[in-house]
Amino acid sequence: MKKRLLSAFVSLCMIVSLLPTMAFAETGVQDSGIVTSESGLCEHHTQHDENCGYTEGTAEIPCSHEHTEDCYTLVKEVKEESGLNVTADRVIAIQDRSRHNPPIYAYGICKVFIQCSLIGGCFEPNIETIASGFFSEDDLPDLATDKTTRDQVQMCFAAYHSAHWDVKFD
């Protein structure tokens, strides 16, 4: 069961890597070597929120937030499989593979789709993944539908474009 969940998670991470990402120009480098924007946010943390311990400063008490490992979570499996660093942002769907992907197997697989953000790293070919690329919704390559269907990729694009997404689950 553990291997099935892990393989579903890895598949999800590979799907998520197909989603478009934004790139911003470097505006400054602190002594630590961390690239920051004009607002002082680091490359790993594009927005302050309560999850990283941020509280908005006031005239009496200015913001003194310092970035730590808790500000973002690197998804270890994505790093191991692709060489890329990502943060897991939200669950898109939890699906029973036999209800969405042909052919039906004699055993069950639970697929978990998670929206991630690329924060760095560089693709490295390995025994599971020989190439990587980013594709627009209208320019998808041929898919191995026993792993991921066009409908599933379109669902991920819809979640990406939605500010408020309700998790789909079977």
Tens of pLDDT, residues 101-150: 889 888 889 999 999 988 888 888 888 888 888 899 999 999 989 989 99
93 has pLDDT over 80: yes
Bridge partner list, 118: 86
CB 77 within 8 A of CB 116: no
Q: Give the model's pLDDT for residue 21.
A: 54
| More confident call, 136 vs 37 | 136
Give the pTM: 0.56
Mean pLDDT of the chain: 75
